[in-house]
Structure 1
Amino acid sequence: MRPGIIEKVTNELRVTPNWQDSVQARAAFSWNNEASALAGLPDGGLNLTFEAVDRHARGPQPDRVALRLLDRAGQASDISYRDLSLQTNRFAHLLRGLGVSAGERLFVLCERSLELYLGVLGGLKQGCVVSPLFSAFGPEPIATRMRLGDGSILVTSEALYRRKVAGIRSGLPSLRHVLLFGVPEGEPMPEGTLDLHALLAEADDSFTMAATTADSPSLLHFTSGTTGTPKGALHVHGAAVTHYVTGKYALDLHPDDIYWCSADPGWVTGTSYGILAPLMLGVTSIVDCAEFDAERWYQILERQRVSVWYTAPTAIRMLMKAGTALAAAHRFPALRFVASVGEPLNAEAVWWGLEALGQPIHDNWWQTETGGIMVANTAGMAIKPGSMGKPLPGVEAAIVSIENGQLTLQGDDQVGELALKKPWPALFRAYLGQEERYRRCFAGEWYLSGDLARRDRDGYYWFVGRNDDVIKSAGHLIGPFEVESVLMELPAVAEAAVIGKPDPLVGETVKAFVSLKGGYIASPVLHDELLGHARKRLGAAVAPKELEFVASLPHTRSGKLMRRLLKARELGLPEGDLSTLENPS
């Protein structure tokens, strides 16, 4: 067993952390004080892109690199804050020239290219409600989201349009304009589309920002339900304050950092922390156009001298699966902070980061609905591997239970639902067209996350499971994450997932699905070793009764482990919404 805590000594860290956690610092924190660091629009309004881009373009270092785009060959193209301001002005100007009004829904379906960033940031300048989509979505998920969002403008490439949009366009009556790029030279534009780059070339690079305020709608992020249609969570421009604060305190961004968020902007993390938060802090962001490849990722960390890296547990486990020799072949002298989000991070992965990267991996917790990081292991905190960390400044969290409509605060080490006291600037304002579902997210002044957790005596929060993932066996409430973490303690295990199976005697029994690291082979001996280890660590009541080896486990493209899909397949139940599944086949 490893020790239970990774201590930090501030004067031994390469950079003094932005957040020094203390009772006094928390008492002194104010959202209004933090908002004063932003510029605001001349008429007292607020706009995400103005704060992320134009504030720096008009500041003392307009030529600082905002985006460093890496093509598939690894060649870099740098875009300064000044350039990004001018190019997003052109995009916003062309929208205005097409008669696009503030409040219209603009969808962006792009791989990680400059056009994606122009679409998101330029659309926000014109006051559009912007919704980035996964480029890997198939036609039906795209159509579903665009219909739910009443999308009137789409930015996409010729290849994606031809493969995924042309066949569904007749079913999108609100779609007025398709802005296309990447049409092969000499070929005509597809019917009913506009040449994005031709319009950009003609557009003025000066632009008067739309009159947005902190309460103006800004971003529309879709999050899948377990069975029904996706939920469209609507956010506002006031979220700029949360992006600024969490980028500074949760990710510890400093002006000279080279930052890389490996999340796709089709996921809320890729927008909030791949586009907006790093730009709010004026840092340089790495944008990699290629998909995951362990060697390529290590090279990016090394050659680009990445200092702060934000990634997902799935990617970390894939790196772990690739073996320690590959990591040992590289050096990461600039890397000083690594964070993860999407699924709770097992303790073994936190320790692996310390051994392979020279830095422990800092887990944090938030949701599409919260709009930003709420609970985190920050740079100056001691880490308890396996914990989500502590609430950030300005965030009041609690463990609650609700019975007969009454909310009760739970004490330390009690399991309950993780709740957050509202308001905070990035809290979502609606589920599009689902008012009753939105209302059910709140109990008085508390936002109810649907995640079960506990808080220890030191104020650290520990994830137990989603309400609908928790296993009830013979009176025990078993959190999947706890069981999975124990299985991952053995060196053979790359990843584990557990589900509850109906049992007439005890209610549910625990079944585990395990994928192995390279070099290990599934066998009856290993099967029994894993079950025996779990029984020894967890006790017979909590340990799995069944274990099945699988080649891989199902994830969403945002890295979330799809336990409910494993359960549906195991029990022959409907599989529900699979639109965000990483590999739908």
Structure 2
Amino acid sequence: MAYNMIDYQKERETFKWQLPEYFNFASDVVDKWAENPDKLAMIWVNEQDEEVRRTFRDFKERSNQLANLLVSQGIKPGDVIILIMPRYIEWWESFLACLRVGAIVSPGTVQLTTKDLAFRIKAANASAIIVDERTAKKFDELTEGLEAIKCKVLVGEPREGWLNYQSEINKFPTEFNTVRTRSSDGAILFFTSGTTGNPKMTLHTHGSYPFAHIVTGKYWLDLTPDDLHWNLSDTGWGKAAWSSLFGPWHMGATIFVHHETRFNPKRCLEVLQRYPITTLCGAPTNYRMLVLEDLLKYKFPSLRSCTGAGEPLNPEVIATWREATGLTIRDGYGQTETVLVIGNFPCLPVKPGAMGKPAPGFTVEVIDEKGNILPPGKEGDIAIQVKPEPPVGLFKQYWQEPERTERCFRGQWYLTGDRAVKDEDGYFWFVGRADDVILASGYRIGPFEVESALIEHDAVAESAVVASPDELRGEIVKAFVVLADGYTPSPQLVKELQDHVKKTTAPYKYPREIEFVDYLPKTVSGKIRRAQLREMEWAKKGKNRHMLG
């Protein structure tokens, strides 16, 4: 088959962002595909092998009904709507409905705790929440901070104080006049972990994210209207917006969704073999688990493309997968703050372990601390050129934090916070995070959040949390703990602290390893030297975090 991009250099030279003044993904993309009433948008399958097929027309009408419901409850353009549920079809309907009414949708993972939800409601000044039953129970534990909430919508069994999604939207018409949103209007608010303090609120506009992901869908995922695309990401993460919504539907591809409680590699391979899935996208952790299975037992006759993003992809995993399937996993790089900015594109040879080359529409370089472009082979900061004209696809701001936003820029460059080396051929090679954020199984985990949870336990006097190398997950959370007087190290205490973190913050953030120490290394000003602990940890396990892959 012919690729969407045949000549990489020519495409980069001729590419121009054609951003319109007004854009709304729901009306300008989904509704256009819905003009063909039979155009399939999704195949949804659960763990019991129950299958549901939905057309673009179905998504148009159902999201229109929900949009009418939201407006009837007083939701207006600019209001923030928190959206949390697993891989239900209603997640896609709700996302589109939020865009239709001109609201700002704020997705989150079902693993968030009641404490996390309370912070998000307050920080975002949310006006509405659309959630599943499990999350609704957590919201009902809140006793304050809900004054600004105009409506609460529940997908699931009826619950007192909640509007039931299934029964309520059927009361409304399937037609809705989608708000004429400007490309510069706010559309999505992601919460993303940092190294200190609470999660940052990353604000995207209709133009910077829903529109700009055409680059992701067209060039990196290389999708067409004939493809059946499966992205393994959970709905609570930015990767779902990348590869489970905007990228595929820009191109008119059908999305395959497998609703499951946790990733099962055997089940994944069985599903890949059973359905005519043509393109697969997953976190490196998914691929690392898949290659541990007997891949030669399976055949994937329809599969033509595999991509990975979220953390560095190990060359040995790429080799094992290619040997068994004949397909090379193509790595891609971006952030919560961006669409795809660097990738291994189908028309380019893959250098195993490399991030790839800059996407059309982006000028990306490795720079030094003064903003100078470094020569090949020199390590520096990954930076995106934003002057004289910023590219489409970059977030608008960290909401309500102008100083934090300003710190991301150095002269004409936006700093991604990651470091890399560019080789003579223009390929980027990931080095590591410039900060201390831990990338475990594709999840970004801020050390401060885990440390804050640990310090709440009576046994903990001090703690420092760092990334520790792990063959399966890439990195895991490792905690160094100084015990309070009266406590002694024991396996029972390790388990108790781990359970405490799971209950205090999201379960995926708990430290899989805990080491008890007498003291923590600190700077003269009293700051914990996480970098020193991290380097010691990686050296002890025979790894080097600056030579990933």
**Category of TM-score, reference length = shorter chain:** 0.7 to 0.9
CA-to-partner distance for each residue in 1:294-351, whole Å, 9 max, x for gaps? 1110122111211111100111112223x3x2x2221001111100011011111111
Match of 1:279 in 2: 249
Would you say 1:255 and 2:225 are equivalent positions? yes
C-alpha distance in structure 2 between counterparts of 1:21 and 1:362, whole Å: 17
C-alpha distance in structure 2 between counterparts of 1:75 and 1:190, whole Å: 25
C-alpha distance in structure 2 between counterparts of 1:428 and 1:94, whole Å: 29
Q: Which residue, out of 275, 298, 306, partners 1:330?
A: 298
SS of 1:145 mapped into structure 2: helix
C-alpha distance in structure 2 between counterparts of 1:350 and 1:140, whole Å: 39
Which amino acid is the alignment partner of residue 475 of structure 2? L
Would you say 1:119 and 2:30 are equivalent positions? no
C-alpha distance in structure 1 between counterparts of 2:475 and 2:44, whole Å: 29
Would you say 1:319 and 2:293 are equivalent positions? no
Q: Assess if the C-alpha contact under 8 Å between 1:133 and 1:142 holds in 2.
A: no
Which amino acid is the alignment partner of residue 179 of structure 2? A
Match of 1:216 in 2: 185
Q: Which residue, out of 378, 381, 394, partners 1:414?
A: 378
State percent identity of aligned pairs.
31
Q: Which residue, out of 470, 475, 482, partners 1:561?
A: 475
C-alpha distance in structure 2 between counterparts of 1:466 and 1:158, whole Å: 36
Q: Assess if the C-alpha contact under 8 Å between 1:159 and 1:182 holds in 2.
A: no
C-alpha distance in structure 2 between counterparts of 1:572 and 1:308, whole Å: 49
Which amino acid is the alignment partner of residue 561 of structure 1? E
CA-to-partner distance for each residue in 1:346-392, whole Å, 9 max, x for gaps? 1111112202332111111100011x110000111100000000001
| Cα pair distance change 1:579/1:398, threshold 3 Å | farther
Q: Assess if the C-alpha contact under 8 Å between 1:104 and 1:129 holds in 2.
A: yes
Match of 1:151 in 2: 126
Match of 2:80 in 1: 105
C-alpha distance in structure 2 between counterparts of 1:227 and 1:340, whole Å: 28
SS of 2:3 mapped into structure 1: coil
Q: Assess if the C-alpha contact under 8 Å between 1:51 and 1:240 holds in 2.
A: no
Q: CA deviation at 1:121?
A: 0.9
Relative to the length of structure 2, the TM-score reads 0.80
Which amino acid is the alignment partner of residue 171 of structure 1? G
Q: Assess if the C-alpha contact under 8 Å between 1:145 and 1:230 holds in 2.
A: no
CA-to-partner distance for each residue in 1:108-144, whole Å, 9 max, x for gaps? 1111101111111111111010011101222112222
C-alpha distance in structure 1 between counterparts of 2:135 and 2:435, whole Å: 35
Match of 1:83 in 2: 58
Q: Which residue, out of 388, 396, 403, partners 1:429?
A: 396
| Cα pair distance change 1:512/1:452, threshold 3 Å | closer
Q: Assess if the C-alpha contact under 8 Å between 2:156 and 2:164 holds in 1.
A: no
| Cα pair distance change 1:363/1:570, threshold 3 Å | farther
Q: Assess if the C-alpha contact under 8 Å between 2:291 and 2:321 holds in 1.
A: no
SS of 1:582 mapped into structure 2: helix
Relative to the length of structure 1, the TM-score reads 0.75
| Cα pair distance change 1:514/1:392, threshold 3 Å | closer
Match of 1:302 in 2: 273
Match of 2:148 in 1: 174
**How do 1:361-380 and structure 2 match up within 5 A?**
361-370=329-338, 372-380=339-347
Q: Assess if the C-alpha contact under 8 Å between 1:224 and 1:580 holds in 2.
A: no
**CA root-mean-square deviation:** 2.7
List 4+ stretches of structure 1 deviating above 3 A.
511-516, 570-581
Q: Which residue, out of 139, 143, 152, partners 1:165?
A: 139
Would you say 1:53 and 2:30 are equivalent positions? yes
Q: Which residue, out of 208, 211, 228, partners 2:197?
A: 228
CA-to-partner distance for each residue in 1:162-211, whole Å, 9 max, x for gaps? 2x21102533332221111211xxxxx43321122222111110110112
Match of 1:8 in 2: none
**How do 1:535-554 and structure 2 match up within 5 A?**
none
C-alpha distance in structure 1 between counterparts of 2:481 and 2:356, whole Å: 33
**How do 1:337-416 and structure 2 match up within 5 A?**
337-370=305-338, 372-402=339-369, 406-416=370-380
Q: Assess if the C-alpha contact under 8 Å between 1:110 and 1:157 holds in 2.
A: yes
Q: Assess if the C-alpha contact under 8 Å between 1:343 and 1:561 holds in 2.
A: no
Q: Assess if the C-alpha contact under 8 Å between 1:278 and 1:284 holds in 2.
A: yes
Q: Assess if the C-alpha contact under 8 Å between 1:52 and 1:277 holds in 2.
A: no
Gaps of at least 5 residues in structure 1 are: 1-14, 184-188, 471-479, 485-498, 500-510, 517-551, 554-559
Q: Assess if the C-alpha contact under 8 Å between 2:156 and 2:165 holds in 1.
A: no
C-alpha distance in structure 2 between counterparts of 1:374 and 1:407, whole Å: 19
C-alpha distance in structure 2 between counterparts of 1:136 and 1:106, whole Å: 18
Would you say 1:447 and 2:414 are equivalent positions? yes
Which amino acid is the alignment partner of residue 275 of structure 1? L
SS of 1:123 mapped into structure 2: helix
C-alpha distance in structure 1 between counterparts of 2:124 and 2:167, whole Å: 27
Q: Assess if the C-alpha contact under 8 Å between 1:222 and 1:231 holds in 2.
A: yes
SS of 1:248 mapped into structure 2: helix
Q: CA deviation at 1:17?
A: 1.1
Q: Assess if the C-alpha contact under 8 Å between 2:155 and 2:165 holds in 1.
A: yes
Q: CA deviation at 1:572?
A: 8.5
Match of 2:103 in 1: 128
Q: Which residue, out of 59, 67, 71, partners 2:46?
A: 71
C-alpha distance in structure 2 between counterparts of 1:166 and 1:420, whole Å: 43
Q: Assess if the C-alpha contact under 8 Å between 2:322 and 2:329 holds in 1.
A: yes
SS of 1:171 mapped into structure 2: coil
**How do 1:38-49 and structure 2 match up within 5 A?**
45-49=22-26
C-alpha distance in structure 2 between counterparts of 1:48 and 1:319, whole Å: 34
